Chains A and B, each alone.
Chain A
Amino acid sequence: MSEHEKPSGEPVPVGRRGGKIDGLPKITGAARFTDDLTLPGMLHGAFLRSPHAHARILSIDVSAAAALPGVYAVLTGADLPTPYGVIPVAQDEHALAVGKVLFIGDEVAAVAAVDQETARRAAALIRVEYEPLEGVFTIEDALNPDKPLLHDERRRKGDTNVLRRVFQKYGDPEAGFAEADVILESSYDYPGSTHVPLETQVALAQPHPDGKLTLWSSTQIPHYLHRIVAKVLGMREQDVRVIKPDVGAGYGGKSDPFANELCAAALARKTGRPVKFILDREEVFYAHRGRHPTRMTLKMGVTKDGRITAADFKAWAAGGAYASYGVVTAYYFGVFLPLPYKLDHWQFESHRCYTNHPPCGPKRGHGAIQPRFALELHLDKLAHAIGMSPEALRLKNTVEPDTETSNGLRITSVALKECVDKVVAASGYLEKRGKLGPNRGIGLATSAYMCGALHPIVQSEMPQSAVQICADRSGRVSILSGTADIGQGSNHMLAAIVAGRLGIPETDCVVLESDTGLTPVDLGSYSSRVTFFAGNAAKMAAEQLYAVIRAAAAEKLGGDDVVMAGGKVFRASAPEKALEFADAVQLAEERHGTLGFVGHYKPPKIGSRFRRQSVGPSPAYSFTAQVAEVVVDPETGFVTVERIWAAHDCGKALNPTIVEGQIEGCVYMGVGEALGEEQSYTKTGLHRAPSILEYKIPTVFETPEITTIIVESNDKEGPYGAKEAGEGPQLSTVPAIANAIFDACGVWMNEAPFTPDRVLKAIERRDREARRAAAEEGA
């Protein structure tokens, strides 16, 4: 048992509902997002972007732009030649195009000028001579060894645009299929979609006379940005300070370092003036890094009594022009395929390809959304084929607590059965399925997701999260952490843990987060890691402060049965003689000296039978079950999602209101992906809908009534039992809706989104097949 897992005796009161400690500024207009910051003498940046999907740059003439009054500097790829990428094995990006452009919207040059309008006007004056190249737009193109390569020259005959192929095999799939009574195979297609955070990417860079640099940015991973800015600008890391102000959400879309951040920094260094660099809304659709459009095939076998015996899964993703996190995506496609089910014999093969489109990357439920869609639909098909209820089939195969999966994932807390039972009961699934009448249906799906990655992206034995706390003589406790609150409530989470341990109001904590010049390293807001990792670090720090205060109070009060609650410190046996928390802090400071403590979290070393299993394992997994009720209009094919019930095992809700909000947000984003969101391009790679109006995101009218049910499995290693809630719940939404559409009108929607044209085609196919069957019966 490591230091931070020591039981602390008294129960810790976490789980208060309601407002966030840092909630008020967002409601009064006082919150400061990056674009709300202004510095004296500040310049503004703008890009020139590529009009070609794939072309060689023959020449760039910036003279007219540089000569425009009000322009201070112009940069091209030659100024920033160092390649970068978050994943160490995929350093394939440049701040500005070097040699070639790889998608329509790729950044070619950047200007700093006295205002945004002048910067944009100047960018338009830059003359670029291109030699257009054949584009790679489909998975077939990407796999074709005769097509040009996006990156590098062809080294060997047969090289293709596959960034990463992964093949893994567990057990004996052939023997598994031989045990099956029913085997089904289907193809599935899942669309690419993008995050659309309401705040676009914004960066503000300030150069200092000593050569140092401060960069404020709307990033969700200040730590990687810090490293990469230093690398690309050729600076020492200790001379770069990255600060993340309030961020207008990310959902994964602000995980990469972006050209505007790097160019703001470079332009600030070049001009000696602060530079603000904002992407406009259209540009965010090109910056993208969203969901990979993925083609899949899935073959699965079950016995008559509903045991899943084997699976064979293949996936191909058209990932766009750069790698981003795509190597990881290729692993996630397969590693999480069976969870939350037991499956001994299976294999997967995945391909993450380059294409001449805006680059894909991590979006909420990264890499797990697509296979979950395929597998949960497939399970309903199998249940249908063997005449078993879909929820019974799932419950029969559910992974058990404290076990290891066939691919070496250590499973600890699992409350999936409870999640299924609760959504089934709340929704009336059993009574409604097959009985809602024509064109109304109900569907179920379940899922599991990680709570952070065991192995960091950049290999290291150092902690992945750290928190520093100090108790002030006033009784106020400051919490310093490198975590990035992007709206999910991580600041409140840290305060809830520390305040819970010390028995003080959460609002007596102050959180200073995300400033690489002041706060200890945290790897960032991705892979649903923050509550588990940073939460445990905060807990470790709080336990130490607690112990010191408690010891001082015990001496003063003359007994060991000291508890801290309600802002007071007292003996359980004599609560009437209580010390104020601040007085106890002062006693502790007299005995101990200044009260500052650090905590950290490094996931346990979990041995696996599989050495290659470095991407995917997590210290814990969250579990979700959802039921959707839909209405399908058979005339128009229009699907209305009326209601969704979502039960989520988050371990322990440190603040149930915030956890519900995360679940609701996941369901909402799932509904968007189910009904119409799609990064869609013309055959020559032009984005079809780069605006909020055309890219169909749900308004309140398309959003169903969402009923959330929190299920607490109290994970032994989670901070006071907590696991993630920010991504996992999205996994079940789309397949639950697809299964509800089948229940409504008997069509399997193997292709998302379930747009009216697709649904109508499926209904027409159903009717054709029915007529043919009737005719054959008649003959």
Chain B
Amino acid sequence: MPTEPDADLVLTLRVNGDRKRLLIPANRTLLNLLRQDLGLTGSKHGCDVGDCGACTVLMNGAPRLSCVTLAADAEGAELLTVEGVSVGGALHPLQAAFHEQVAAQCGYCTPGFIMALKALFDERPDPSDEELNEVLGANICRCTGYTKILAAARQARERMNGRSA
């Protein structure tokens, strides 16, 4: 039996730059907090047990499976979701490359891939192919065979590092 849902708590955090203060049930997952309480539906339910990566968000800059994270763990944290990746209406180079390469077919896994790759690029601006693979390995895509996703990640890497691609 899950925790009594009426055991509420107050949560303060920053999401995509905006400060949020909410009253939530103690058993609320971070994914449901984003989707239900904040209306940020870009992060997806794929499995709800941390197997597929579709719910990946950045918590204090690090990738996090929001479906198996309690919202309470995000107290005071800085969260970034796919909705916060393009700043001022301009696509992030990763997003531009995903678009150009048609790396999103059905698009359901895409937010998770973009967030996982963004975390890598934030930490290592010029990752090797092996490092790209390592990150992609934590997410499942059933449409693309990962081929166009890898192509997009490489294209973004080249462009972000001022090389032609």
Contact = CB atoms under 8 A, between A and B. Distances in A.
Given A198-B140, A697-B142, A699-B137, A246 B107 contact: yes
Nearest to B94: A27
A453 B110 CA distance: 32
Nearest to A701: B137
Nearest to A120: B2
A247 B146 CA distance: 19
Contacts of A26: 104, 106-107, 110
Nearest to A202: B45
Given A18-B100, A199-B46, A699-B137, A488 B91 contact: no
Q: Which of A25, A32, A281, A706 has the most CB of B within 10 A?
A: A281
B102 A486 contact: no
Given A36-B41, A692-B140, A693-B49, A703 B146 contact: yes
Interface residues of B, number: 51
Most buried by A among B40, B47, B111: B47
Contacts of A25: 107
B83 interface: yes
Interface stretch (A138-146, A331-339, A660-668): A660-668
A20 B106 CA distance: 11
Contacts of A199: 44, 46, 106, 108
B66 interface: no
Size bin of chain A's contact surface: 35 or more
Contacts of A29: 40-43, 81-83, 85, 111
A25 B95 CA distance: 10
A703 B145 contact: yes
A657 B143 CA distance: 14
Contacts of A28: 42, 82-83, 85-86, 91, 95
A487 B100 contact: no
Contacts of B59: none
Interface string B1-25: 0100100000000000000000000
A647 to B, nearest CB: 15
A249 B42 contact: no
Contacts of B42: 28-31
A700 B83 CA distance: 25
B67 to A, nearest CB: 10
Interface of B: 2, 5, 35, 40-49, 51-52, 54, 81-83, 85-86, 91, 95, 98-102, 104-111, 114, 133, 136-137, 140-150
Listed from nearest, the 6 A-B pairs whose CB atoms lie closest are A29-B42, A26-B107, A487-B106, A668-B145, A248-B108, A29-B82
28 contacts: A24-B91, A25-B107, A27-B91, A27-B104, A27-B107, A29-B40, A29-B42, A29-B85, A32-B41, A35-B45, A196-B142, A197-B106, A197-B142, A200-B46, A251-B142, A281-B51, A486-B106, A489-B105, A661-B144, A661-B148, A665-B142, A668-B144, A692-B47, A692-B49, A697-B140, A700-B137, A700-B146, A703-B145
